[in-house]
Each structure stands twice: as C-alpha cells, then as structure tokens.
Structure 1
C-alpha cells in the first residue's frame, strides 16, 4: 500500500509522500496564497493538488472499486472545500504557508471527518518520510573539517543538519572588503555557542552577537555585524513576500527587483502603503535599486531601521533597506510630473547617506497617512475653551509623530482676576500639568514617546514657579516630570542682568501687548508698564532683582535640565517673516523659529539633514557635490508641504501659506576628523563658518530656483527676502535694536552673496524659511555619523536607546592608533577606565589628544563661537547642547551670557558634570572644559559687559542633569 500510495501521490501538494518535489501548479490559488517547500523555495498554492493527493490516499487504503471511487470523490471534494475555507479565513489577503502546515491541516480535517484509518496512515507515513529525509540529508552533508556536525530545529519542529557551508558563505560576504576583520574568529566563537538541536533562528543570533562583541576591538566589525543581521532580515521579508526564506547578498540585485512590486501590492492590501504607489513604473524603479548600498550600514544603523522604521505586519518586517528608501522616495515624488525620475533621484540621495529625511518623513512617506513634518508650534490663548482646544491639537499632532512647542505666555498668572467668575486664576501651571499628561497618554503613533516643550516669557508672573516644574520635590500636582520647558527671554532682561538692575513680573492679561512686541518697541512699552505699576495702575506685579532670577534660572537648569535658554529678540529681529507675524516660541528641540497665532496659525516645519562628513573629499569640502545634494534636498523638503497629512486644519493653512522648511546638517565632528581638525580650535570655528555659509548659499539659491519653477510662497512680498536682506544681513537689525555694547558677531563671508541677493529679489523664494539644525539623534545613527553639530561624547562607550545597547567606538581614533602601533587590548581597557577619554593615557601623542578630545574636554567657548558662526547664516536656529565640566555658578553664568552676547537665538540641553564625576578622565580638574579668557580661545565673553559673576553658587553637589535626548536618553529622540 505504501509503495502504491507513494508512486501515485509523489507530486501531490498535500501528500506526505514526496510532496516537496511539487513543481507544477494550476492557477486556482485562493487569495494569492503561496507555499514554502522544505528546500526553502516558494511556489503558488494549488488547491487541486490537495484533492488529488487525498483521492490517491483514499484509494490506496480502501481499494479502487467503482462504488468506493464515487464515495471517495464526494468525500474528497467536501474535505478539500473545508481546507480551502480554513486558509481563506486565516489569511483573507493571501500570504505564505509552509508545506508542513498544509499537511497538518489535511491531517486535522481527515480526523474531524471521522476518517481515522486514512489519517493514521497519513501520520505514520509523514513520520517515516521525515526520518528518511533527515537520513538522506545527513548522508549528503560533507563533514566540515573545522566544526562538529550539528542539527538545527526548524519552525515546524523537525530537525535537519546545520548547513555550515552556507554559514561560511554568509560570514564571508559579511567580512568582504573590510580590513582587520577575521571570518574565522566570528565562526569559531559562534559555533562554540551552538548546540545540537538549536533553533535555526538562533544560529543567526549567535553570529550577530559574536561579531558585535568584537566591535570594541575593531570598528569594522560593526559593518560585519550589520551584514550578518541582514541575513535574518532578508529571510524575514523575502519569506513574507513569497520569494525565498533565505538569500545571500549577491542574490539581492535580482531579489530587490522582483520584491519591489510584490511588496507594494502586499503593502496596499494590508493598508500599510498608499495605493498611489501602484501607479509607478515598478520595473524602472526596481532596476534603479542598488543592492550594494546595504553594505554601508553599521550595526546600530541597521538595527535602528529594523526596530523602528521598517513597515511591519504582525511584527514581521516586510521591508528591506533599499525598498525602505525607495518607498520613502516614491512617497516624496508622488506629486511630481516625472515621478519615476524624481523618485530615483530621491532614492539615490537617501540611500547614499549624503542626506537623510527626518524621522516622521521616514516613518510615513508613501503610507495612507503621510504625516511627514517634524515640528509644530502653537499658541495657547487665555480662555478655557482655547486652552483645552490647544491641548486637543497637541494630542492629534502627537499621534502622528509630531514634536510640539507650545507658547503659554498669554495665559494669565497666579492670582490674576477672572472677570467671568469674579475669582482669581490658578495660573498657568495647572494647565501645564494637563498638557504634560496628554503627551504621555498620546505617544507618537506607538513608535516613540510623545514630546512637548512649553515656553514662557521671562516677565510672566508665574516664571519662578515655571522654573521649578521639573523638580522632584514639592507639590507633585504642580510638577511636569515629562514635559520639556524653555525660557523665552527678551533682550531687555539680559541687559538688566548685565547691568544688575531690577526686573518686573506681570500677568499677561494686564500687559497684553508685550507678547507681540520685541526689540526697541518691547523695551519702550515694558518701561511704560513698569511706570504704571509704580503709579498703582497695574494691580498684579512683582519686582525682583534680575541677577537673582538669572541665578535661579541657571540653578534649575543644572539641577533639572530645564528650562532651556532661548532668546526672543534675535528670533524675531532676524526672522524673514516679521511682516506677517511674531515668533512666540521655538519648537521641541529649539531649532525652529516660525510665526504663530492662536486659533489661526500653527507653524509647521519639515526637516532633513545634510551629512557633512560625506562631502569631505581629500581633506576638503566638495562644494560641487554639496550644491547638488542641497538642491535635491530642498526639492524633497518642499514636496513634503503639499503631500503632508495635516491632523489639524490650522497647521495646513499655515504651512501652505508660508512653506517653511528646515535644512540642517549632521556629521560635523566626522568632517573635522577627516580634516585632522580638533573641535576646540580656531580651525574648527572657521570650518563651522565656511561649511554653513556654503549650505546657506546653496539652500537659498535652490529655494529661489524652485520659486521660478513653482512660484514664490504667498507671503513673499514684504519679507526680508523680498528686500534683499538675507540671513547674513539681518544681523544688522539685531545690532541696531540691541545696541553694539551687547553683541559681537563675526561678519566675514567668502561667496558671491551680492548676485544671490539680486536673484532672490527677482525670482522670489519658494520657502519662507529654509535652514534649521536639528538634533538628528536617530537619523545620524542610521547613517553612522556623529549627530548634528555635536562634539564626540566619548571615544568608547555603550549607547542605550529603544533598539538596545550598542558599543560605540570612534573609528577614526582606532585607525590613527593602529597606524602608530598603539591599538591593543590594554588601550581598550584604558579607554573603558577613563570613560572614553585619552587625556590621562600617557602613550598617546598630544596631537591625537587634541583631535580626539571629548565633549566635556572641549572648552564651551569653542562650542559657542562655532555656533555663532553658523547662526549668522541661518534664518532659523540650531539645537545647541552645551557641555560644561566641573560646573559651578561662574561657568554657567559666563557660558550663557556668552551665548546671548554672541548672537545665538536658542540653546538646548545643558550637559554638565560635577567636578567629583570627572576625576578619572581629566588631566586637571580645575582646567578641564574651563571657561576662561585664555589667548588660545575666542575672546567673546572677555569683551562683553559683565556684572558681578555668580561664582558663589557651587553646583558640584547638585542633582545630576538628566541625559540629553540626543545622546543617551532612550525616550527622547523626538525631532529626528
């Protein structure tokens, strides 16, 4: 019976007898089901084969009489229908099922139908042939001379010999082209961690973990680890798409072309991808995919994409890296006339790592709800309906991955009169608590924590309580432990601090016009209100010493990390859009400075960043390449405005009216390494200047050229642009209003700005605002460079974020130390002991110690001066973290005065180390990261008018500042 059944059903899909030899199928597949055979190939599902196989099984058991044949045919038809219905219910949109699952369902259906004899024979035969297959595989396996033969357990529970030859291929591909990477070292250690019967999926895990542990000895193992991880990703995605359960990197050129149309069709069926993407020429796009660009990823970069960016269905990632970039590119080209050519242009830029779109764009481009914008700025009006309406707007914007900046200044202060109830206000703080809890409740699409920053002007009656919102002591009902906060500081307050004069606090309902005033107009009106208060005509006010309030601001900044210092007047006086509104706050990460108006305009900004390191060639900035990158990037950013999904209508109106974008940069520290320049040097400051000048020049030019093609933004007339006043020129407006006594900014320039001014005046601008430097916390991980404009945090450390823990080692340092014969296990241990610092490792030359100084070893003056040089070219602002070691009152005082005096618009996190925390990793506790007026550093602060410094405030014993989102905090990666 067995021989007859085996011969008669050798090609039956549902038969246990040789079914994995099946190769020909009809077109009757329900719902595009596919079957994974035991050899890993994927074939269409054919219901007819189930019927044939069961018929032959019945006849083999019961005989072939006419009566039996008639009963068998009727029974088989009924059972086949049941099996098909089961799979349709499980996968209504189609999918892939393993051959064993098909046979399991046949077996189960036979049992339920009471056909125990057929089912019993079926079970026995499956077991026997499973044993024979395993025996045959074992006979065909050539013993490996280096490793013992092991069996692995497949998903269906069966065992098969481990294919060590394939492992060798995978590891060989992973190490190909990488210097100082040892294939055998990876295989030896990985095989030591395996055992007989190990799950097949754990084999790749062993390879990845093994390679990952070697990163601290050789940074190139990070690339090898990423490539090993790709083997898992390929199996997962290609298996879901019904193409293969495993593939090597060399096969991916073919697989990518075949996978793209299947992925798009499947994505649309699952309602994960926009149906509009089906209207592209998939063959043309598939041929444009560059599979070799998979090899650019570091492990952290690829793992970050896998964990947080790839589209998934039931936790199965259905995207691969190049399909991911193509999906984003298609989403951004969806309204272009020549959409295929533009999609290819955008794809090539993204996949090259020369430029990267912001996280919301990467999340959502090409999906059903393409919320691509990064930042939203709102005003909170002074009425109950408006307050809760604004909080609802926060919830809707946060749901779709938007970072929020709220201006709370209009809300009346504690004790202010409420006419409608004849009572007194509880102030702004209780409402901030509600906003805080809303951000926690509504996370960003389930992908990352919701994030919001509240802004309050320094003259607000509640400013002192506002400073304490992040404290861990006091009434918890008046604390916001999850919300970021920022001071919106007028220039007049800073002048009062410098001159040690009093400062008056008001409730905004008594001084309503101060909110919209800045510069000389603000100073005049503020003085008038102070006189009214002195005359008893303003009931609610409080007079404090400006220097005392400043001291408290600095103390809270160190103790809690908040509120950040942001400056109202430079944001407004240098705004190109001051003819149509006022900048009332910045955003979540302090780089966006756009007009807002309660109930009318929610400002929106769309971000992306140039990878500066990718544009350093032969030790110099390749300006031609930079110009091409920026031109394409500006077009991509402008497209976001029209494609974007707007959760709140007022944000749509604002964005379409002004069309602001924010082109920034990342990899600044890498660019310095490539030029052999120390971050704390005049050369670095000069490079910050010239590189930002080039980005500014090409960005403004690209926006102006786009205006020729698409038209200028609607409020161009009357803007600074229309008057030929570019960002470099707007410094004059700030100096005029503030007074030369209180500002010092370099004005040097190298490019032909005169002709560009005329071009802008003639052609217009497509975008009201063009530049902003965001933190790039996650997209810099993807591209494998240092984030934004940050100095290196440590040369060797473990980074923690939502994707796990990753050893990060400075590859430039390792390369230099290897050249000098200094890289060994002792050096690795020294770097660990000294927390990534070189300064106390005697055998390292002084020139390398300077180049590879870490963030806390770079004097704050250099960071501020470099930022000042960039700020003169930027029409918005920059997310600027400040690093201060051995923090005390004097250091903080001088550093933040210097930031304002140098013309900065905003600052971001304060990264402070108490003196007791830095002893191991410093040469001299007293001089590390010092704020001094030494001749080797910029002399900005030394020339500024300074009142008695607050050196008596010692912060060394204060609570440590929370980790900045851009470095260590796994929850804060909100803008990018």
Structure 2
C-alpha cells in the first residue's frame, strides 16, 4: 500500500482546497497540504481491503469523499494559517476517522500494520508458493504438475514490447482460477482470463490477453494441420508460418471449406509474404472476435491463424486477377496492416466455395401479392449469406384500399411487415450474426401513422415488429410544409402510383395536383393532417422506440450519380447506401473502410500513404463485384450493370484524439471536411484509373459522372432547388477541375464510390473507434456475440500516464462515473474536452461534421445521434439542422439511461456552451439559422 505522503497531488471533489498549511514529511522536507492526497490514500486502502469490483465503486468513492472531508476538518480545527503539521499526525487523524466509521480492518491496513502486513504477506506468499501444487489433466488423461516457471516464460514472451505489464500479477490472477486435475483446455482458457481480468487497469493487458489467446490458437490450429500437440512460440512461428499456411490451404480445400482454386495459387510465394509478427498487433476484443466468428473451422476446431485469414481473403479478392499472386500479396499487406478492412461478409466468405461478399441489398416491393411473397423469399436468400437488407414498401396499397380482384379491402402494408420481421428472425445469416432488415415507407403513405408505431411495446402484437428496423423516407416538400406549418395529405399508393418515382420539383407538382383531385373527390382514400403534427409524432416515436429513423428522399435522388436509370426508393439497413431499385434490379453495395488514424503522420494525414491505400482498396472492392456469389438474379443484374462500391472510414474519433482536437470544435469540423475531401478525390481518381484499365461501368453514359457533375457539383443542384432551406459550406481545396475532365474523358469503373458504414465489428478487429462515432465511454463493457469485453480508451490512459494521474483511484473513478472524466476534478480541462463522450457532446457538432462530409460523398453515412436529455424542442432542432445541412440520412437516436443521469445530475457539459448556435427552424422569429 502506498504511503500517504507519496500519494499523487490531485483536485478531487473530496473537499475544496481551502487551506495552505505546510506538511512535514518523514525526511524533514515541507510540502503543501492537499486534502486530495487523503482522498486517494483512503480510496487505495478501501480498494486494497474491500476489492476492486465495479459494483463497489460507488460505495468506495462516497466513503472516501466523506472520510477525507472529516480528516481535513479535524486537522485544520486547531491550526492557524502559518502552522505546520507532521505527516504522522495526518495519518493519526485518518486512522481515527476510519476507526470512527467502524472500518477497523482498513485502519489497521492503512497505518498501524502497513509495513508489518506487507512483510507478513510476503512471507505468506513465499510459504504458499512452496506448498501450492496442482496437476493439469492432459488430453490423453495423464496428469502433469503445474509449471509456474514455464507459465512465467510464456507470459514474459507475450509481454515483450508492452510497457506496463506485471508478470507476477498476471500469474496470481491465473492461479486464483486454477484447481487440481484441471483439464488442459480449461487451463489454457484460464491463462487468457488472467490477463483479460486486468484490462481495466491498463490497456496493455488487452494486447497481452490477445497474445495468450493466440498461443492457444496456434496449439489448436497446428494440432489439426500438423497433428502437433504442443504450441510453437511466436519466434518459432516466424519460420514455421509458411509451412503451416500451405498445409492449412490444402486441408481446408480437401474439406470443401475453401475454393479449390486457392490451392492453384503459388502457395510458396504467398507463404513467404506472410508477416507473422503482425499477429501481435491485435487487442483481445479484436482477436477473440475473429476467433469466434470469422476463422475457418470444422466442427469445434479453428485452424485458421490470423495471417492465413488475411491471406485467404486477399486470395479470394485476387482470384480473377492476371497477376494474382502479386495482387494477393498487395491486398494482404493492406488488410494485415489494418490500413483498410473489408466488410464482414467479405471476411466471412472470400475464398470459400460460395463467396457472398456484398454487404447491403436494397429492394422495392411491388403492389402485387405474388411479388410481395417473392420479396420474402429474396430476403431469406440474401440474409442467409450475411447480407443486410433495406426494403422499400411504399408501393403497397394502404389499409382500406380497394382490391378489384376480390372486391374487398386491403389490410394495408403493416401485416406484411410483420412477416418480413419474422423472416429476418428465422434466417439469421448462417448462424454467424442476426438477420437484419429495415423497412422504408414514404411520408405521404396513408399507413404512415401505423408504421410509426411498429416498434412500440404496447398495442396489438400482430401489428408490431420488434426485431425489424424501420425508417421514414421523407420528401423535401414535407419538411417545407412542417416549417411553414401547412397541411399534409396522405394517400394510398394504388391511387397515386406515380408519386413513388418522382422527386424534387416533379414530385411537388404531382403531389399538389393529387391534393386538388382529393379535394374534388377524384381520389377516394386520403387524409389531411397538419404536417407539424405528423413531424412531432415521428420525433416522439423516434425518442420512445428508436424508430423509425429519419431519412431524406430528395437529397438522395437529386445528388444520385445514376439518376438517369432509376430512382432511389430507400436506403439500406444502416442508412449509408443510396442506390436505385426496381422490379428488375436489387441494388447491391460492396463495402470496406479505411483506418483513418493509421494514415496520420505527426499532426497531419500522410497523403502518399492515403492515396496508396485508397487505390488498392478501390481495386479490392471492384473485384468483389465479379467474384461475388449472387443468391438472386436481380442482384447480379444490378451489380454488374452499375458496379457500385462504398469506401468508408473508421477511427475518426481516434484521429481527433491523436491530433488533440475535441470533437466539439470547429477544428474537428474542418478535419472532417478536409479528410473526406482527400478520400473522395483519391477514390474517384482510383475508379477513373480502373476505368482506363478495365472499362467504364455499363450504365456510365448519361450519368452525372459523364456530364462532369461530381458529388461536390451535385450539392449546387440541391442548393438551387432548396434555396434558403439549405445551409452548408461548399468550399473546396483540391484541383477538382482536372479530375472532372479526367472522369469525363476516361469514365468511371463504379457508379458510386463512397459510403460510410457503421464498422461495428471490423473496427474492433483493427482496434480503433467505430466509423465516425464519438467515444461511447472511456471505459465500458461491450457485449456482442463473442461475449463481454472491457474496452478502455488507450489515448486517455496514455495522456493520464504522462501527467502521472493513472492510478487505482483514477480507475475506480472512471468506473464510478461510467467512463466519464468530466466529474474527476484532477483531470485537466483540456483532457475533459478532448475525452468528452458521446452523451457529453452536443449532437449538433456531429451534424456539422457530417454536413461537411456529405458534400464529398456520392452515397450517405451512418450517423448516430446522441441526446442526454431529450425534449421535443431539442429533437426538432436537431433533425431540422440535419435536413438544413443537406444530410441524406440519419441512423439511430441514442438516449441516456435514467440511472446514469442521476449519477451525473450535477455534471455541466464541458462542451455544450460552445456548441453551434442553432435554434428550431420552426421558430419564424429566430434568425440564428440564417
């Protein structure tokens, strides 16, 4: 236990720093009295005696705060301002406070027996080690004595290069979970758990846990490919990886787990390119996720090691290349370095006999019973092979609409959505992840009010879809009616079928004519309501259920590069894909994401590195289209005709934290703008170069590309149509004129190039923050299909270590405050701003950054919004701002739990005062948005 006199100087809320007394230390030197040292020392004593369990964090924090305040009062009661006090007297007062609180054991541990107890514990540990013996049951049922020396060597090897690892502490954690005649498999798992249990004390333990897991993985894999019962060390794998890789490929092909064509590659050449040292770059969450869900396996045996995994994916993507070994190595280097990561379906299925590599599928459901049930079949087949689905249901007639064939009335769209929901549950992407679908409905559909309530927990369960996502597909005219507080008319699509395919001014004119016909009695089924009332219900349901999401039809179509061949009727499951659909075409998109922080060099982006990554990544994504397995013909037809891909980013928040830029700042908005401009420029350039090599996509002629209209140019078209309702920066810094001319002359290989997906899993693999998301919490437990994982912000820990603030008390405070640093007073204000978490950032900053990105994107971005204290006015302001900034789509609205709010009820957001000044657009008297 640390002595009070060497506790760190802090500014903790235990009590105010109200006195300036001098403290005499044991060496005779004077130091400033600091009550926060008392708080830290008491907290450490409590932690040492009562343990470090998360559920005790609140108890320890409150007790330490109360006792340190009592000690300060006792010390200063009889002192004048010029008096000094000896450290022993302070310790006496601490002891008395602990004793008065009936914390006798803590008091003894703190003062009376500190040194004696330390000596006793040392003696006890020595005696225990000499008598402590257990046996481990081997696979052949024989018993082998536990070898602590061997275990220490393993942990030491795995800890090489990690700075703050205590091998002794890990061994003690492991020994706490051992028992006599423990099976070997359980013993190996206990080794990993020993390091895993310490992740909350230092992020280095996450890498250590990953390396220990890797040791188990090597044993498992080599026992299958080489019948080798003992693991090889990481050093041995440097020379053994090539031999293993060739055996792995041949074994997997023989078991029909990999495409036979992979065995025809020059395996010697590929094997020599493997970099086994990159196995050590994983965090525990990343490697465990790969192990559980991605690695090739048979029955219960995983025999695909990480570098073999990356090379297998690279081989699959290079399978149709002329110089395929060279391209496979190029793709492998990109994946294994974490500079770029393909999407989950690509990682799952590349190189396998059925390579369904695409991420997203968009469909339109026609107003025909046969087509409706055909769409359920298509959903099932697409979901089976790990595709996410977006269904456009706007064409299906409404409740009460006439059915001429039976002279009856329709039950509307809602019952069919219930079937779509249950299909997603039944077909769960091959058992690898949950089936997922999002239903879209346009705002003029007369079933829209029932659609809004699909995710409610009350009401008729036959009209509820608890497992399916929903989204509003909102035309600009509706938003204008809301602002102008005008009426809005709802129709059944069987009477106004043409509205579905119209956008912009054409939609406005047709819709107004439909309203006139309704008033004249020419349209039977219709309903007129206040637009603002429907808008409020949309926002109310969004807050209550998280659905339907808010997405905007007109910007998706007005800026659509391929608008000459179709209409964008919906987005996808995650609201980042905006492609047209029809009865003949199911839109498909192929995704991958750039690891943005991996391309930072000092305080700026490495442009050479970034361009090289994007050039290779675009080639990989384009290769998916030809190599992909299509479970339905409409998807193949669409993908080969238009060849869309979606290059995105991940680690945006990590980049900001590396650059010391708070998310809630104009600098962050500028970085979002400039970084996406570069990515857009290089991606379009790469697709143009691919067109020169391979030819333009078949429907290029007539596209916006062919007319020299790039994404930044289409924003001007939207501005002309919106007028005062679009407020977005349109500045640019690169030579777009030259690229525009190049595109017109050469063509484009891909109809679409850019889309920012959520990257929930692949960012875990790479060990970076998700997509464009702010940090959820600086320390939290993440749950997914692989289990529960402690996640800790490595940048924060590094900064706290540099300031000498990372200790047991800081760890305990982070647990108590749910990963927030805003209430920890000894954390400097600059770090509080930099490490503000998602609910501590005004979501308007997220929209401002997204608005700057959107001008460079030919598709959309998955944009989650966070609101700690939601209200109707705040929601209105937020989503009106999203529309005014030209966003195409938004994703989840996430709100904070009541218990968290109570715990932080005195918290003043460090960043909210500097948030962009935006009011509700509904307020006609406010000029803040002009």
Q: Identify the TM-score tier after normalising by the shorter chain.
A: 0.7 to 0.9
Asked if structure 2 preserves the Cα contact closer than 8 Å seen for 1:741 and 1:944, the reply is: no
Asked if structure 1 preserves the Cα contact closer than 8 Å seen for 2:196 and 2:209, the reply is: yes
Cα distance in 1 between the residues matched to 2:144 and 2:837 = 51
Distance 1:757 1:387, change over 3 A: same
Residue 508 of structure 1: SS of its match in structure 2?
coil
Shift of 1:199: 1.7
Cα distance in 2 between the residues matched to 1:928 and 1:827 = 19
Cα distance in 2 between the residues matched to 1:230 and 1:858 = 37
Distance 1:582 1:437, change over 3 A: same
Q: 2:915 aligns with which of 915, 937, 947?
A: 937
2:798 alignment partner in structure 1: 815
2:4 alignment partner in structure 1: none
Structure 2 matches for 1:919-930, cutoff 5 A?
Answer: 919-921=902-904, 923-924=906-907
Cα distance in 2 between the residues matched to 1:474 and 1:457 = 23
Shift of 1:193: 3.1
Residue 216 of structure 1: SS of its match in structure 2?
helix
Shift of 1:266: 1.1
Q: Does 1:887 align with 2:888?
A: no
1:541 alignment partner in structure 2: 526
Shift of 1:728: 0.7
Q: Does 1:604 align with 2:579?
A: no
Q: Does 1:794 align with 2:777?
A: yes
Q: String of CA shifts for 1:701-748, please: whole Å, max 9, x gaps.
A: 00000000000000111111111111011011111222x211101111
Asked if structure 2 preserves the Cα contact closer than 8 Å seen for 1:922 and 1:928, the reply is: no
Structure 2 matches for 1:539-938, cutoff 5 A?
Answer: 539-598=524-583, 600-738=584-722, 740-913=723-896, 917-921=900-904, 923-924=906-907, 936-938=914-916
Q: 1:403 aligns with which of 388, 393, 397?
A: 388
Distance 1:893 1:285, change over 3 A: same
Q: String of CA shifts for 1:438-471, please: whole Å, max 9, x gaps.
A: 1111110111110000000000010000000001
Cα distance in 2 between the residues matched to 1:489 and 1:928 = 34
2:233 alignment partner in structure 1: 248
Q: Does 1:365 align with 2:339?
A: no
Distance 1:947 1:553, change over 3 A: farther
Q: 1:340 aligns with which of 319, 325, 328?
A: 325
Shift of 1:174: 1.2
2:499 alignment partner in structure 1: 514
Count of aligned pairs between the two proteins:
799
Cα distance in 2 between the residues matched to 1:273 and 1:144 = 51
TM-score (norm 1): 0.80
Q: Does 1:375 align with 2:353?
A: no
Q: 1:441 aligns with which of 426, 434, 443?
A: 426
Shift of 1:861: 1.2
Distance 1:220 1:916, change over 3 A: closer
Distance 1:146 1:588, change over 3 A: farther
Structure 2 matches for 1:70-109, cutoff 5 A?
Answer: none
Q: String of CA shifts for 1:502-549, please: whole Å, max 9, x gaps.
A: 000000011111000000110111000000001111110000100000
1:63 alignment partner in structure 2: none
Q: Does 1:151 align with 2:135?
A: yes
Structure 2 matches for 1:117-196, cutoff 5 A?
Answer: 148-196=132-180
TM-score (norm 2): 0.84
Shift of 1:947: 5.4
Cα distance in 2 between the residues matched to 1:743 and 1:230 = 52
Cα distance in 1 between the residues matched to 2:175 and 2:902 = 42
Asked if structure 2 preserves the Cα contact closer than 8 Å seen for 1:835 and 1:921, the reply is: no
Cα distance in 2 between the residues matched to 1:788 and 1:327 = 25
Compare 207-216 and 517-526 and name the one that shifted more. 207-216
Residue 815 of structure 1: SS of its match in structure 2?
helix
Shift of 1:914: 6.1
Asked if structure 2 preserves the Cα contact closer than 8 Å seen for 1:582 and 1:595, the reply is: yes
Asked if structure 2 preserves the Cα contact closer than 8 Å seen for 1:741 and 1:945, the reply is: no
Q: Does 1:352 align with 2:330?
A: no
Cα distance in 1 between the residues matched to 2:428 and 2:899 = 37
Shift of 1:169: 2.6
Shift of 1:753: 0.8
Q: Does 1:239 align with 2:217?
A: no
Structure 2 matches for 1:489-500, cutoff 5 A?
Answer: 489-500=474-485
Q: Does 1:525 align with 2:510?
A: yes
Asked if structure 1 preserves the Cα contact closer than 8 Å seen for 2:777 and 2:838, the reply is: yes
Q: String of CA shifts for 1:750-775, please: whole Å, max 9, x gaps.
A: 11111110111111000000000000
Compare 647-656 and 266-275 and name the one that shifted more. 266-275
Q: String of CA shifts for 1:818-870, please: whole Å, max 9, x gaps.
A: 11111111111111111111111111110000000000111111100000000
Unaligned runs of 5+ in 1: 1-142, 950-976
Cα distance in 2 between the residues matched to 1:861 and 1:278 = 53
Cα distance in 1 between the residues matched to 2:156 and 2:357 = 39
Cα distance in 2 between the residues matched to 1:200 and 1:784 = 30
Distance 1:929 1:850, change over 3 A: closer
2:71 alignment partner in structure 1: none
Asked if structure 2 preserves the Cα contact closer than 8 Å seen for 1:455 and 1:585, the reply is: yes
Q: 2:445 aligns with which of 460, 465, 479?
A: 460
Residue 341 of structure 2: SS of its match in structure 1?
strand
RMSD: 1.6
Asked if structure 2 preserves the Cα contact closer than 8 Å seen for 1:839 and 1:923, the reply is: no
Cα distance in 1 between the residues matched to 2:266 and 2:151 = 37
Shift of 1:146: 7.5
Distance 1:698 1:638, change over 3 A: same
Residue 918 of structure 1: SS of its match in structure 2?
helix
Cα distance in 2 between the residues matched to 1:742 and 1:390 = 37
Distance 1:913 1:196, change over 3 A: closer
Asked if structure 2 preserves the Cα contact closer than 8 Å seen for 1:839 and 1:922, the reply is: no
Cα distance in 1 between the residues matched to 2:514 and 2:897 = 41
Shift of 1:552: 0.4
Asked if structure 1 preserves the Cα contact closer than 8 Å seen for 2:344 and 2:359, the reply is: yes
Residue 701 of structure 2: SS of its match in structure 1?
coil
Asked if structure 2 preserves the Cα contact closer than 8 Å seen for 1:840 and 1:922, the reply is: no
1:390 alignment partner in structure 2: 375
Cα distance in 2 between the residues matched to 1:446 and 1:790 = 28
1:51 alignment partner in structure 2: none
Larger Rg over CA atoms:
1
Cα distance in 2 between the residues matched to 1:326 and 1:947 = 59
Shift of 1:685: 0.5
Asked if structure 2 preserves the Cα contact closer than 8 Å seen for 1:901 and 1:944, the reply is: no
